[in-house]
Amino acid sequence: MAEALFKIAVSAMSGRRNRLKIFPALTLAVFLLPILVGLLFTWAPAFGYLSAAGSNRFSLEPFATLLHHPSLPGALRSTFISGIGASLMSLGLALWIAATLYGSRLWSTIELSLAPLLSLPHAAFAIGFSFLIAPSGWLIRSVSPFPSGFTYPPDWTTNGDPWAISLTLTMLFKETPFLLLMIFSGLSRLDVRRTIWVGRSLGYHRLRIWTRLIIPQLYPMLRLPLLAVLAYSLSVVDLAYIIGPSLPPTLAVLIDRWFHDPDISSRFVGAAGALLLLLVTLACISSALVLEYLISKIASRKILDGRRKSPFELLVGSGSFYALILLGVNVLSLTALMLWSVAHSWRFPHFFPARFSFSNWSTALSHLLEPVFVSALAAFLSCLLAIILVVGCFENEQNLARSRIDSISQRSLWIIYLPLLIPQISFLFGIQVLLIIFNLEGSWGTLIWIHLVFVLPYVFLTLANTYRSYDQRYSYVGTALGARPLRSFFRVKLIMLTKPILFSMAVGFGVSIAQYLPTLYVGAGRFATITTETVSLASGSDRRVMAVYALSQFLLALTGFLTAIVLPAIMFRNRRAMQN
Amino acid sequence: MSLVLDSIKISLGTVQLFKPLSLTAPPGSIVTLMGPSGCGKSTLLASICGMLDPGFSFSGTIALNGRPLNGIEMEHRKVGILFQDDLLFPHLDVFGNMAFGLPARMSRRQKRERVNNSLAAAGLEGFGARDIATLSGGQKSRVSLLRALLAEPEAILLDEPFSKLDENLRGSIKQFVFDQIGLMNIPALMVTHDRSDSADGTYIELK
């Protein structure tokens, strides 16, 4: 009897099969098409084709100009230092913190603080961090005038230093929490506690257990996030404007400047640079994969040598030190932003502002309204579209009975990560060219579409596991009780999944808020978002205004997360089983 | 030469998990501790291994072959552990899993020989290169026990080792485990909620 009912319910549900098929195709089109077309239309000018500039003849001149450009060697140096340095260091730091702190109280504290840390947008953090490390920043103020003896800020270059160290550190502190989040979610799928238990009962030190038992199982789940961090660090523009070197800047900034140069012939050099940056990124990604292969080869030969002790045992205590620095820098940066945003006068070397006032906020408010509104609307709409597409894809997958709980095939993961593995600036110019041809530049539709490209992967990744592990029998019960499949889907499944859906939307919302380049290139200067405004102000000198904008950016992203927490709590205030 | 627990008390906050426990497990014997789920059986094993979570407080003394274990790092206690899940490492083959427990002083050839002998004695000849995922439940339990024993522990703890096995496998695996422990001649402590798991029908109630 029960089985018969189940079959009826299933067949009723699968009535939607054909219509759902459209979702994967639509999703792929929505976020792969712009990238592919954008790449092609960026490569064309690199080889001399740009009809807008009246040029349609094959030429290698853009590359010749690029390769002989006096800024190129320095730009490549900064790009490599910051890109590779930040990625390797954040991976090392995240794994070290995990290996040394797993299971401790500090480890739980880190887990709790990840969501707020991640909701602090990159640009806002970079501004706060620069308030810490600047020659007139909080760190030097804390030792001035005693014992440093400085009554004026020292003549040092700690912000935007030519070796890109400040940029590297900024990304290190910002990417480590992201990798930690990925580590947390990867570890939740392994039986870490008992693996450590078995390993130690066999006589192994905990560091050895991590390198030999846990990391080999964890790394496959970290690979793509790490490569995304690598691609991001090599090609980031907004952070490099705020805290990167300037003469010469990183390659990505150099390209951005060429694309915005009033002299239209610079577009060709920019396009050639965009292609070079793409090649640099692909080369780095390939090297990372080769390196991973070599390390795993060497490691698999040593894994059975039976050595129990680790040469780094004495350093285990440093894990909590690094973790506290990571948390401390984030908290201090945020605090510095808050203080500056309400400072009236705060002269060097005072540790606290002499006078507080809200006039920074009240003056900025009228300028803030529009960018906040534009940001929020673009973020909300792109998240909404993203969630519809993603849920559609999952439903289609479920109907094809192809879904295996907890497992996304590696191939489809690579596709989902694609927008995060290609430098934005390597295809955005091409999209801009195309939009100008079709006269679509600066429209709301294209703005939301381009945000969707970057929001979609994050929404997909954050929702995948919970959505796929939903017990489909709830919906079958709904259908068996007489609800039509669609009604059962909306009234049972979506409601039960409210919390994870809102959370993934909040993540997407934050991602959209933080977009800088896409807004700039697709918006034709018609859209000022909180992020474009914050970044353009960051080159200015009034820290109070910068702080107000950076905090507004943070508050906007935070609003998304708070909504995702508060809304379900109110909806299900009388339903205890829905609280967790 | 035995595992001696003397007035072990474990509490979480102010709640004491079970009455003070004292027992002696002589070599080659399997002492069975019985109790319903949630009575602190696994926590007791964790405390003997030195894996007690922060938050629990512990008192009493644990001694193995006359040496006190209290305060010793787990990796130096020489206490093996076997769970209901095999916890075989999925990135290593059968040989890799078993050789992982062998000491560093052995050469690669000695390790290969040792593992092969052990597999042959367990009726798993030629299984060395097999992927863990291709083993049956019974084969996994046997490999898991062999791995623990190859590390030459001075005592072994069994945490409901048979509860996830099929009814028809239980008898033979149980016999295998008890025989192997008898051969090693080390003390063993088993916690279970199934009184038929006991080797000789006797058990100590944990409450």
B155: left (phi over 0), alpha (psi -120 to 50) or beta: beta
In a domain? residue A576: no
Query: Quick check: A527 pLDDT over 50?
Result: yes
Residues of chain B positioned with their CB less than 8 A from the CB of A306: 99-100, 102-106, 111
Number of folded domains in chain B? 1
pLDDT digits (tens, 9 = 90+) for A110-152: 999 988 888 899 999 999 999 999 998 899 898 988 888 888 8
pLDDT of residue A401: 59
Q: How many domains does chain A have?
A: 1
For chains A and B, CB pairs below 8 A equal 76
Chain A residues with CB inside 8 Å of B87's CB? 191, 194-195, 198
Tell me phi and psi for residue A337, to 5 degrees.
-60, -45
* Residues of B with Cβ-Cβ distance to A305 under 8 angstroms: 104
Q: Lowest mean pLDDT: which of A100-109, A126-135, A483-492, B150-159?
A: A483-492
What integer best gives the mean pLDDT of chain A?
89
The answer on pLDDT for A291 being more than 90 is: yes
Three-state secondary structure readout of A284-310: HHHHHHHHHHHHHHHHHHHCCCCCCCC
Nearest Cβ partner of A194 from B79, B83, B102? B83
- State which H helix or E strand residue A183 sits in: helix A165-187
Poorest-pLDDT segment among A255-269, B35-49, B147-161: B35-49
* Model confidence pLDDT, tens digit, residues A184-208: 989 988 999 999 999 999 999 999 9
What pLDDT score was predicted for residue A410? 66
Interchain contact, A304 vs B99, CB within 8 Å: yes
What residues make up the domain containing A324?
60-357
Specify the pLDDT at position A403. Answer: 45
Residue A518 lies in a domain: no
Please tell me which of the candidates B76, B85, B104 has its beta carbon nearest to residue A306: B104
**How many CB atoms neighbour CB A439 within 10 A?**
8
A406 has pLDDT over 70: no
Q: In this predicted model, what pLDDT tens digit does every residue of A302-347 receive, in sequence order?
A: 999 889 898 898 998 899 999 999 999 999 999 999 999 999 888 8
Residue A43 CA to residue A45 CA, distance in Å, equals: 6
Q: Would residue A421 count as lying in a domain?
A: no
Check: CB of residue A446 under 8 Å from CB of residue A428: no
Round to whole Å and give the CA distance between A157 and A245: 10
Residue B125, SS3 per DSSP: coil
SS (H, E, C) A515-550: CCHHHHHHHCCCCCCHHHHHHHHCCCCCHHHHHHHH
Question: Which token pair is B127?
Answer: 């299984």
Domain annotation covers residue A328: yes
What is the reported pLDDT for A287?
97
Model confidence at B160: pLDDT above 70: yes
Give the integer Cα–Cα distance in Å for B186 and B174. 16
How far is residue B141's CA from residue B82's CA, in Å, rounded to a whole number?
9
**Residues of chain A whose C-beta is under 8 A from some C-beta in B?**
103-105, 191, 194-198, 200-205, 212-213, 216-217, 303-308
Q: How confident is the model at residue A18 (pLDDT cuts 50, 70, 90)?
A: low
Per-residue pLDDT at B53: 84
In a domain, A245, yes or no: yes
Average pLDDT over residues A37-50: 91
**How distant, in Å, are the alpha carbons of A121, B17, B184 from that of B55?**
36, 13, 35
The answer, yes or no, to whether residue A19 has pLDDT greater than 80, is: no
Where is mean pLDDT largest: A91-95, A564-568, B117-121, B151-155?
A: A91-95
Q: Please report, for the domain that includes residue B149, its CATH number.
A: 3.40.50.300
Q: Which of A230-244, A385-399, A473-487 is least confident?
A: A473-487
CATH code where residue A81 lies: 1.10.3720.10
Task: Convert the pLDDT of each residue in A472-521 to its tens digit.
Answer: 778 778 777 877 778 878 888 888 888 899 999 999 999 999 999 999 99
Q: How far apart are CA A230 and CA A212, in angstroms?
A: 25
By the 8 A CB rule, do A165 and A95 touch? no
Closest CA to A558 of A119, A43, A39: A119
A464 vs A385: which has the higher pLDDT: A385
pLDDT band at B35 (very low <50, low <70, confident <90, very high): confident
pLDDT, mean of residues A372-401: 89
Cα–Cα distance list, A70 to A99, A145, A243, A254, A256 (Å)? 44, 41, 22, 11, 16
Please give the residue range of the domain that contains residue B12: 3-205
Which residues of B lie inside 8 Å of A (Cβ-Cβ)?
46, 49-51, 53-54, 73-81, 83, 85, 87, 89-92, 96, 99-106, 108, 111, 147-148, 151, 153
Give the confidence band of A579 by pLDDT, cuts at 50, 70, 90. Answer: low
- By the 8 A CB rule, do A408 and A478 touch? no
Q: Distance between terminal CA atoms of chain B?
A: 27
Residues of A in contact with B148 (CB under 8 A): 201-202
> Could A198 and B75 be called an inter-chain contact, meaning their C-beta atoms sit closer than 8 Å?
no
SS3 A345: strand
A538 assigned to some structural domain: no
